[in-house]
Amino acid sequence: MVSTPELMFWTAVVTAVMLLLGWTAYKIPRLKAWIAVLEDVLAAVFLTSGLTVVMISVFTRYVLNNPLGWADEFARVFVAWGAMFGFSVALRERRHIGVDLLYSVVSKRVKHLMDIAANLIGLIFASFMTVTGVKLILFLKMLGLKSIYTDIPEWILQLIIPLGFALFALQFAINVFEVWRGYPEVQEGEGEVLAV
C-alpha cells in the first residue's frame, strides 16, 4: 500500500521533472519537433495496427469461421496504446473539448491566467497518473499475471498507463511555457474549443 505523503512526494518529483523537460523542449525547437513526430508516429502505428487486427479478426471469424483468440486482446491493447498517444497529440494541437461559457466572457489577462492554471492542473493530474501507473505496473509484475491467449506478462500490456500519462504530462509542461509566453491563439473553427 502506498501512503498519501509518498504519493504526493513522487507526484511532485514527476511534475518537477516534466517542467524541466517541458522547458527544455520549449527552448530547443528541434527537441519539441522530435517529440511531436514521436507522438504522431506512435499514435498512427498503434491505431493502424489495432484496426488491422480488428479487420483480420472479423475476416477470420465470419468468413473463414475460425476466430483468432489472440486478435481481440491485441486489438484492445493496440487501440488503447494508440488512443493514449493520440491524447497527447490532441493536447499539443489544442483540440480537446472544453466548456467556454466562463472563458468567453473574461478579459484576455484572465484567459491567460486560466490557461496557465488549466495546464498546471493537467500537468499535476498527469504526473499523479504516471506515478500511480508505475505503482500498478510494479504490482502486476509482482503478481506475475500473464495474458490468457498470448502468455505475455500483463504488466507489459499495461505499460501504456505510465508511459501515456508521462507523455501527456510532458505536453502539459510544454504548454505551460507556451501559454506563459503567449502562444498564438487558435482561431474559431480550427478546433480549439467546442462551446457547450
Once rounded to an integer, what is the mean pLDDT over residues 116-130? 94
User: What pTM was computed for the model?
Assistant: 0.82
Cβ neighbours around 66 below 10 Å, total? 8
The HSE-up count of residue 103 (CA atoms within 13 Å, CB side) is 16
**What is the distance between the alpha carbons of residues 24 and 32, in angstroms, rounded to a whole number?**
8
- pLDDT tens by residue, 65-121: 888 878 888 888 899 999 999 999 999 888 877 777 777 788 888 888 888 999 999
**What is the distance between the alpha carbons of residues 44 and 193, in angstroms, rounded to a whole number?**
23
Q: Which residues contact 7 (CB under 8 A, 6 or more apart)?
A: 128, 131, 132
Q: Give CA torsion, residues 78, 84, 90, 94, to 10 deg.
A: 180
Whether the Cβ atoms of residue 182 and residue 112 lie closer than 8 Å to each other:
yes
